[in-house]
Structure formats: C-alpha cells, structure tokens
Structure 1
Amino acid sequence: MAELIDLGEFGDGFRRDPHPVYARLRERGPVHRVRLPGVDSHFETWLVVGHEEARAALADPRLAKDGRKIGITFLDEELIGRHLLTVDPPQHTRLRGLVSRAFTMRRVEELRPRIQRITDDLLDEMIPRGRADLVDSFAYPLPITVICELLGVPEMDRAEFRKMSTEAVAPTSSESEHAAFTRLAEYLVELIEDKRCAGPTGDLLSDLIRTTAEDGDRLSVGELRGMAFVLLIAGHETTVNLISGTVRTLLAHPAQLAAVRADMSLVDAAVEETLRYEGPVENATFRFAAETLEIAGTRIVRGDAVMVGLAAADRDGLRYPDPDRFDLHRDTRGHLAFGHGVHYCLGAPLARLEARTAIRTLLERAPGLAPDGPPGDWLPGMLIRGVRTLPVRW
C-alpha cells in the first residue's frame, strides 16, 4: 500500500505556498496517494506531481472525466448537468464540436477592440484614485464583463453572479457550495429560457441555442445549461487570477517588472511565465481510473480518483531548470496551465488576449505601479490559485 499523505497536516502554509510541499513530493516520486485539505478533507486521491507524468495522464483515455463510469457523481453534475469537464469522448467530442461552431477563433479575435475599450474604461475610472484593490477594480470586472457580453448575461445580474461563481470554484463550506450551485442552476435555467423566447440576439448563448451540426444534432436544454456554466465560470474565474497573478508576480520581482516596463514586447512572456510559475488553476478537476493502470510504476486501481497537479508539474526541474525562479526569458513551451489533450482549455486564446491587453495597458498607464500593502487571503481549496485582494498604488 502506498503511504497516505494528509495535505491538511501542512496547515495554512500549504494554501499560501504549496510549492515547497509539491517539491518534496516530487523528490520522492511523481505520484502520491493524498488526502485533500479543507472542504474535501474526507476525499482521497492520487496526485500526479511530475511534468512528464502529468502530461501523459491528461491525455490518457483510461483516466475518465465521467465519474458515472465508476458510480460517482459530483455536485455540479447533479445540479447543473453534464458538461465538457464531466464527459469523455465520444460525448465530449460531440459537445466540443457544437460549441466550437459558435465559439470560433475569429469570434475571439473580433473581441480585441472591445476588450481594449473595457480595459481603458476601467483604468479611466481607477487611475485618478491613485490606489486601488486591483482585483476588485480591474482584474475581476474585465473578464466578467467580456464573458457576460459574449454570452449575453444582463449587466444587472453580474454582481450576484460573482458571489455564486466564486463560492462554486473556491467553496468555504459544503453548505455554501451547495447553495451556490443551486442558485447557479436556477439562474441558468431562467437565462436560457429568456434567450430562447427572445429569438436570435447575436450573443454566444443565443447562437448555441440555435447551433445545429450537419447531421441536425443540437444541444439539449440540460447540455445548454452545462455549457453556459462552463463558459461563464471558466471564462472569467481563471482570467481574473491570471491577470492579478501576473501583476502580483511582477511586483514581487522588481527586476523582471523593470524589464517589462523597458520593453513592452515582454508582456506576452510575462503572461506565459506566470502561467507556468503561478498559474490560476492549481490542479485539474478529477479524473477516474476506468480500468486498472500504472502511472510511473504506481498501480492505480479501477475506480480510483486521480488529480493532475498542474502547478506542481510546471515547477518540475526535470522540465524547467531552476523552476522556482521567475524568468521572462525562459522557454515556457509545454506548460500545462491550460491542460493538455482533448480537454485542453477551450477559452485559452481568449484568456491570453485579455491578460496581455490588461497587463500591457495597465503598465503603460500606471508606470509607477507598486504594492500598497500585502495581498489578501489566498482562495480556499486546491482548484483556483489566487488572492482575494491585491492593494496597489501608482
């Protein structure tokens, strides 16, 4: 039997900085049996911390996303419905194909002027104040505005949606998590019905309701709800923390920040190195062994849960020399911040576009950007990596 490592025993320090723990685990091997901390403290899973092993696991069809194959369902499935993160091919291929017909690269590129305009408007309001919480004033409202406009979510619903989505991805308790998913499900049902009754409006959700494959296939009501859930949650929560995480990391590395200020062409490199060094998704959502298999010589029995450590893998010294050093000139190719394989993040191009636009414009308009006190608390759980607040001045 593999040793069971209780991650909860590392206390609050593990939430603030899990990387030393992941480094010690990697020294002992690329795969470990762990018990999760916090809300999921009863849950045991295999944790993959090596880069090569993580990349292989993310693309291994024997590791299913569909827990129903081994008799497991999770809260989001029960209350929201099945979606891209909870199904495998051929169902996943079908769903992704349908959404890809509406959520195209061309559509993302067409958002570039609007993303710049939203960025400028937010900074027009923020810059005269001289100081702000960057999360609340900039990193959050930019991606939530973009994704809500893209999907057609009314502006007046966005404040309430923020509360629901944050609790869903970084729950503070089992009860609040259940309540958040319940409210999200009810909201999405109403939103989809409103869109259906309104007729074509040009937004992505309206298009998804009417998208038809060549064989006449369409998304069902439940699938639409699941798709809206994934696009709304993944479409902004990760980008919030990518923007704030890039700024936080640059402020913590003054020489690297000075290099970016001197050469704005390094903004793209700063975003990519942040994705590797401190990406917004700490661990991929669970996979389940649909059959008994081995990962790096470790036997994974059918039915076992497997969690792929994206943050751990991207600090593997076998893949990235001196991995704990933030280096704008590093070759970051192959990082796993957006996943790998058939479940590679559908919204990666949009997230990169938003983050690059946000960081470049912020540094241009606030050349004196500096910390204004310590960052706020880290978000709970092991899914999203980010802080609740980031005080800055300029």
Structure 2
Amino acid sequence: MLITLTGATGFLGSHVLARLLRDPAVEVVALGRDPDDVAAHRLKTAVAATGCAVPEDFDSRVRPLRITLEDEHLGLSHPQYAALARRTDVLWHLAGCIELDAPADRLRRVNVEGTRNILKLAASNARTRFLHTSTAYVAGARTGVCVPEDELGEEEFLTPYEESKFHAERLVHRYAAETGRPTAVLRPSVLVSDRPLAAKGPRHTLAAVGAGLGQLRTYLTDSAAHSADETTPARPPLSLRLSGDPEAEVNLLQVEYASEAMVHIACSRPQKQVGKAHTFHVVHPRGTRVGAVVQAVEHHLPGIRLSMTGERFQPTALESLLLRASQGTHAYTGLQRTYERAAFEAATGHLSAPAPLTDTYLRAALAPPPDPAHPCPPRPLLERS
C-alpha cells in the first residue's frame, strides 16, 4: 500500500508516520516544502522524536517529494504529478498552519487553498482514498451541547484558525458529494504528550504554551533580580487574572492514542457511503477541566498566583504577557461541550479508552524543551524595536 502523506514532519504527522512504518507492507511518499535531502533528515529526526526507532529500511520505504502546497499543481511537473496520482492508494492530508491567531490570509492560503490543491490530486485517480485531518474545533464557539460527528454547520468562530479549518473541511465534503469516492474526515481535539520533547522537534499546543511560559518566567526572574538588593524583603506572590471558567472543559487527547486510532481508520477498508465523507471525532471521551490546566500552568510560574474570572477586564502589562504566552489558547477557557464518538468507536472498537490526564501529565506536557540552548523559538513575548 502506498500512502501519500502531507505534514509528516509535524507533531501529529511524525507520530502517524512512525505508526504507519510498523506495517512492513506500507510505503510512504512524504510531501513537504524542503529539498529531498533535507526532508529525508527531517523525517528521520521527526520519527525519532516520537520515541520510536527509525526502521532500518526507512530509506527504501519513505520517499520525500518537494511540493508547493499553495500551487495548483503542487509545484510538480506534469509527469511527476501524474505518476504520484497513479501510484497513490491513500492520500492523507495532515499539513496546515496550526497557529490559532495567524493572519487570516495566511491561514486561508495554507489551510483552505492548500486543501483545494490536494483534493485535485486525489481527484486524479478514481481508486485513491482521501483522508483529511480537520479539527474538533470546527464546532467554533458552540457550547452547552454534544457536537455531532456528521454535522458541519455555519458557526461563530473563536479563532481564525478554526474558521480556516471549517472552510477546508467544507471543500472535502463537497468533493465526497461530487465524486462519490471514499473519503474520511478526522477531527482530532488538542493533541498532547507528556514525553520530553527534542530540542528542535515538532511541538504540541501545550508545549508551545510551555515555551511561552518559560519566556515569561525568565522575564519575571530578570526583572526581580534587577530591582532587588540585600534589603529588599521577599515579595508576596503576584496575582494575575485569566478570562474563563475553571469548571469549563478543554478536550485534550494523548497523541499516541490518536495516531494509533487514526492509522487504524486510514488502513481499514472504507465503509460504503457514496456521496458522503465519513467523519470521526478523534477526541477524549472526557474533557479536562480548565482549572486543572491553569493549576499546571501555575506550577511552571513560581511566585505567580492565577485566578479565573468570567468578567471583562483590562489586562495589566503582566497579564498581557501571560495572554501572549498562552499562544491563543485562552480563547477556549469558557467552553462546556462534549463530542459524539459513535463513528469513531465503531471504527476503533479494539482500542480501550484513553487514560485521564492527571496533574502530573499536564505539568509534564507544559514543560519547556529539554535543551534551552537550542529550543524551537516561540513567538517573543516582547517585540524588539
């Protein structure tokens, strides 16, 4: 089976690739923006960063191919494009811009137009099965409900990211309706891991927040050191406010569980459902309390006491830095909803339920990269002039 994969060097993509390679019958064409020699190294590094061994036959089973996602023909020559379409059994689109508050034009260019161009490749071969990685957060600002798997309605969106994923998913459903070809939409929630991350490896959302917290902690430490002298008494904890409800929930799911389930769905015989994409919520059956996440954040900010409020307030300078450190996740601190999992459970009944995310797990997931000398740089909290 030849699986053509976009986004294989990303956080989820690297786990998917590592899991796919456990099946010796699977070969992978990894589409990406790097030159082939650079891509080959990055792919091996990404697989190793998941904690999985790089197979000895990696080079014979994984072939990188440089593309331009925003180009209608992916930047490939006609012979390259035709050969790729002809050989592909499963085309799995994982690539995308995942910054929650990235500029809308960039999100549309990568997430929407990029999906449109990948769908054109899928349409070039009638036997190709298409899988699209969306997000459970296409549900937008909806709260107080159980979100159905087979529904994609017009929503009010909390971030530009989820709006771009909504429009991309709508393209996929239209493709399935117009072609009648086997198509699946995978909607993962926030995927995380408690594994220590490689210094330059891909990050999950909580790790990106952790990196931002590391910057904030350094800023606070430097400020305290600059202002202190031998006669300065110990300062009481600083109190900072966050918007949201500690009893609200965010759906966090272990990436190892998610990749196992998603690969099983990808490699299983597709159900017959002409003219409609199968949609699967790849989510935890139980949400994680926002208050529990905030407590884990507080653990990484010694000398800071966090409180949550549902009232509007004008943030102080330090509270603004904390918001920036959150990498846009503060938009989700007030939601209270669940997700239907019937189709997912029917497709992955062999899997036991994922474990709850404990305080120890959340603290580890928020830990900064292990090598501060060579971290993946987060967005700076303070812009330099």
TM-score (norm 1): 0.25
Q: Which has the larger radius of gyration?
A: 2
TM-score by length of 2: 0.26
Which structure shows the higher helix fraction?
1
